[in-house]
Amino acid sequence: MSIAEIFETMEYGPAPESASPAVRWLEERGRTFGHFIGGEWRNPAEGEWFDTTNPATNQPLARIAQGGAADVDAAVRAAREALPAWQALDGHGRARYLYALARHIQRHSRLFAVLETMDNGKPIRESRDIDIPLVARHFYHHAGWAQLMDAEMPGYTGIGVVGQIIPWNFPLLMMAWKIAPALAMGNTVVLKPAEFTSLTALLFAEVCRDAGLPPGVVNIITGDGRTGAGIVEHPGVDKIAFTGSTDVGRIIRVATAGSGKKLSLELGGKSPFIVFDDADLESVIEGVVDAIWFNQGQVCCAGSRILAQEGIADKLTQRLRERMETLRVGDPLDKGVDIGAIVAPVQLQKIGELVQQGRDEGATLWQPSWSCPQEGCFFPPTLFTDVAPSSTIAQVEIFGPVVVLMTFRTPSEAVALSNNTPYGLAASVWTESINLALDIAPRVQAGTVWINSTNLFDAGAGFGGYKESGFGREGGKEGLWEYVKPRWEAEAKNGAASRKDDRKSKPSKDKGRNGGPSLPPIDRTAKLYIGGKQARPDSGYSLPVTGAGERLVGDVGLGNRKDVRNAVEAAHKAGGWARGTAHNRAQVLYYLAENLAARTDEFARRIAQMTGDEAGAEREVDASIRRLYTYAAWADKYDGLVHAAPMRNVTLAMNEPIGVIGVACPDAAPLLGFVSAIAPAIAMGNAVVVVPSERWPLAATDFYQVLDTSDVPGGVVNIVTGKRDELAETLAAHDDVDAVWYFGGAEGSTLVERLSAGNMKRTWVSYGRDRDWFDAEQGEGREFLRQATQVKNIWVPYGE
């Protein structure tokens, strides 16, 4: 037998990683861990504990504290007490602490890696070579952002006390994704790790203490869902950052509605892995291994749906089965193992039930010929073919080493299949044609798209979902915005002196010709504006609009649920607006400003007629024109970034429109509030269904004619007049509306946030602080543009 033949037939020998450092660490602490609150270890107030086990052996590792209401309250109070000093520390000071945390993590990297593998079940190669280096990278990267915060984010400050809830699939990495940017931006943290995998977070608590982090800046409390619910509901928490299932994310969205808490959610996924017939199949096969069998498939962005072009589907299936035969499942501390243990028996049972359901629904199952270890929670790599796009296993997140394979014929069919789920977290596109890849990537509804690669992450590149995969971003500069707010908003919330309305009521000067008696107004009821046309309201009713002195100045249609439905349908038909060039959108916005300027006197008279403030009316029209100019300027300049990830990739962070945005305008500044809301949204390529000022809507209905003469395509701007809160309720509950901006009272804000949980749409609400959003200083700029866009990261590898 030749050496080459011997090499091909050799069996893998065991290559165990020693668990002794982690075992020693556990033993030295008596295998019992309380909460880390205010820089100290505390036993649970209610005396409840639970065991955490090694999923590879089902043997207990340690006893963990179960957090209760008193523990949560103590942690929040500690974070609140530490907040003023931490926020007062300059960016350089925070950068020094984050740098120290990164260095300490590197110093204990092997202990972290082994403990993570023992507690989670993932292969040591992954925890050692992927997770831990990325954890350190996040703290280094965000140390830099702390240093640059004042220069790069002027006018912004930290949110306050941040509650963070992380999952069990990447315990330490998810912790770094959340804690590092929060600390960098001047927040303090109460973090709850997953009950199955708390140990590395508790080791990190010791690192915080050893690095000299001020007490209370980071607090870690352990427990199950009850503890997480306590954090979500605590009134002393200013923001919730959650990574986990869509079902729980929906519960959190409802629970936080009306609380004023900022919210970011990174939820479930069912990511497509699109293979075109010109792709390098050998690279594709290894890509599938990384996409679905990395971390046992327990990855929210796992490539769990292979979409193969028909011409190569059979060959791909055969090669994939051959590769699956060579995968090794076993002791995750063995450095030669490819697939480790499923995190817990309950998750193993769920995977088994879904696999059986796939078989029952007619799909063809294939697994390797070898068997898994019988001790511990192991499941073999599994491939399903003959899968219908509507089947359970093609739609539901299995969260295990199970992949389904479906076929397509054309690129358009690939896109349609890719988008045929409620999720939109990530996708992979495999082709040797860069033109095809960059044509497909923007059409796939996902927050991250990898080209000829998969499961690439970096602290410098944002990550997050579209649709029911959540909202908000983690990593990159876009991830920082989740942990800051404008200073003026913080000051308003903290009780800054309220500004009094200085409008003065003056009698109308609407006299007849030659100084005669006033003439009665021509009876005119303003209609709705839907799909580029004026439309009568479905209700057949109208609302009176009164001006200064309660004088009737006109009527507007009373819109209802059907009118909103028609407007949303028209908005979706205006998809060409988003596909057009940013330059074209800029030109249209300039036309709007130009045509509004030509009618300044007319609009000023209308505003004065409603508000009684003649001097303020002209200023409002002028401010509206300036605002249109601002967003015309931004339309082709608010572009994306190229992230410098430390690998041979160009990572393109593209700002994309959200889709259809429902907007409920404030009563104050009837024209300026309307323009300030629609201009940034349409500048970024969205279509809007807008409810103008309920009290003074005529400025918006007069704007129809400006839209008609400014080349705005039908359906881009749809105006439905009526009761703001009733219409906002319909918009928030509408599953074809992608985001809602609500500028009204606290009760309406709460309602919008709660109802948005239906399809996990983004919301931006004012809680009654409308004037802060629309005054001369705060009523325009990047905050509006950020709310009008979502970021997609496309990873494009280059070089050999």
Catalytic residue IDs: 266, 300
Residue 27, both tokens: 């033993």
Burial 97-114, CB ≥16 within 10 A → b, else e: bbbbbbebbeebbebbbb
What are the residues whose beta carbons fall under 8 Å from the beta carbon of 569, sequence distance 6 or more? 736
Judge contact between 688 and 766, C-beta under 8 A. Answer: no
161-165 and 188-192 beta bridge pairing? parallel
Q: Which of 23, 110, 172, 55 is nearest to 335 (CA)?
A: 110
Q: Specify the 3-state DSSP secondary structure of 366.
A: strand
Distance CA 609, CA 696 (A): 10
Say which residue the tokens 């091909």 belong to: 8
The string of DSSP letters for 547-568 reads: -GGG-EEEEEE---HHHHHHHH
Beta bridge partners of 742: 664, 765
Q: Which of 264, 272, 419 is nearest to 760 (CA)?
A: 264
| Interhelix angle 582-597/670-683, nearest 10 degrees | 160
Judge contact between 243 and 167, C-beta under 8 A. Answer: yes
Q: List strand residue ranges (DSSP E) for 170-227, in order.
A: 188-192, 218-220
The upper half-sphere exposure of residue 115, i.e. CA atoms within 13 Å in the direction of its Cβ, equals 27
**Quick one: CA torsion of 118, 123, 125, 130, rounded to 10 degrees?**
-90
Angle value at C-alpha 458, between 457 and 460, nearest 5 degrees: 140
Q: Which DSSP letter does residue 213 get?
A: P
Residue 222, both tokens: 């352990």
The upper half-sphere exposure of residue 185, i.e. CA atoms within 13 Å in the direction of its Cβ, equals 30
User: CA 542: distance to chain centroid?
Assistant: 39
Distance CA 783, CA 412 (A): 34
CB 200: neighbour CB atoms within 10 A?
Answer: 28
User: CA 401: distance to chain centroid?
Assistant: 25
Residue 216, both tokens: 């209370």
The CA distances from residue 557 to 51, 535, 553, 741, in Å, are: 63, 9, 14, 22
Distance CA 516, CA 514 (A): 5
Distance CA 380, CA 369 (A): 10
Distance CA 282, CA 94 (A): 46
Residue 334, both tokens: 């063995």
CB 728: neighbour CB atoms within 10 A?
Answer: 26
Angle value at C-alpha 254, between 258 and 678, nearest 5 degrees: 60
Residue 331, both tokens: 């002791």
Residue 219, both tokens: 């607090």
Q: Specify the 3-state DSSP secondary structure of 31.
A: coil
Q: Which of 592, 765, 575 is nearest to 671 (CA)?
A: 592
Say which residue the tokens 């899968």 belong to: 387
| φ, ψ at 662 (rounded to 5°) | -90, 130
| φ, ψ at 97 (rounded to 5°) | -65, -45
Distance CA 674, CA 669 (A): 8
| φ, ψ at 525 (rounded to 5°) | -105, 120
User: CA 197: distance to chain centroid?
Assistant: 24
